[in-house]
Amino acid sequence: RSFLDHAPVLMGVVELMPDAAHPTDILHVYDNPASERFFGAPAGSTAGRLSSELGASPAVIATWIRHYVQTAALGRPVAFDYAFDHAMGRRWLAVTVNAIGAGLSGRTRFSYVAEDATARKRAEAERERLLAVAQSARADAEGQQRRAEAAQQA
C-alpha cells in the first residue's frame, strides 16, 4: 500500500455501476493520492463515490467504461491515450486498464494506471509540425529548381 500511496502516477481500483452488463457510471473503490489530487478531492474522499459525483461528464464516463468493457472482453490489459481540457490547456494521460476479478460486491473490479503524457504528446505534435514545414520547404525548393532548370533550357 505504501507504494500506491507514494507513486507519482494515478492508480486505482473501480467497479462499473450498476453492473458490467449495463454500465452507466464508475464506482471508485480505491484511488491513490495522485488520483485524488487529479480529481481535486481531499485525501481519502473518493472511495465509494461515483465518477459522476466527482465531476466527470457522461461523455468522459462513457469513454472510460468503453475501455473497461474492452479489457474484460479481451481478457488482457488495454492501453489508450486520454485527452482532456484543463485550466492549463489540453492535457493527455497514457492509461492502462485491466479487469482484476470480482470484488466483495460480486461486480468485476478493474485497475487503472495513468501517467501524464502531455509533454510526449506536445513533442509529437511539434515533431509533426516541423516535418510538415520541412516537407513544404523541400517541395518549394524542388519547384524553384525545376523552374530554374527550365529557364536555363529555354
pLDDT digits (tens, 9 = 90+) for 121-135: 777 877 787 888 888
Cβ atoms of residues 67 and 42 within 8 Å:
no
In the prediction, which pLDDT does 58 show?
92
Residue among 64, 96, 65, 66 at smallest CA distance from 80: 96
In the prediction, which pLDDT does 142 show?
86
Reported as a pLDDT band with limits 50, 70 and 90, residue 145 is confident
| pTM exceeding 0.85 | no
pLDDT digits (tens, 9 = 90+) for 39-80: 888 888 999 999 999 888 899 999 999 999 999 999 999 999
Q: What whole-number distance in Å separates Cα of residue 110 and Cα of residue 98?
A: 5
Share of the chain above pLDDT 90, in %: 44
In the prediction, which pLDDT does 4 show?
61
**Sign for the pseudo-dihedral over CA of 137, 138, 139, 143:** positive
In the prediction, which pLDDT does 3 show?
59
Asked if residue 5 has pLDDT above 70, the reply is: no
Reported as a pLDDT band with limits 50, 70 and 90, residue 26 is very high
For residue 5, the tally of other CB atoms under 10 A from its CB is 11
In the prediction, which pLDDT does 6 show?
67
pLDDT digits (tens, 9 = 90+) for 96-121: 999 999 888 889 999 999 998 877 77
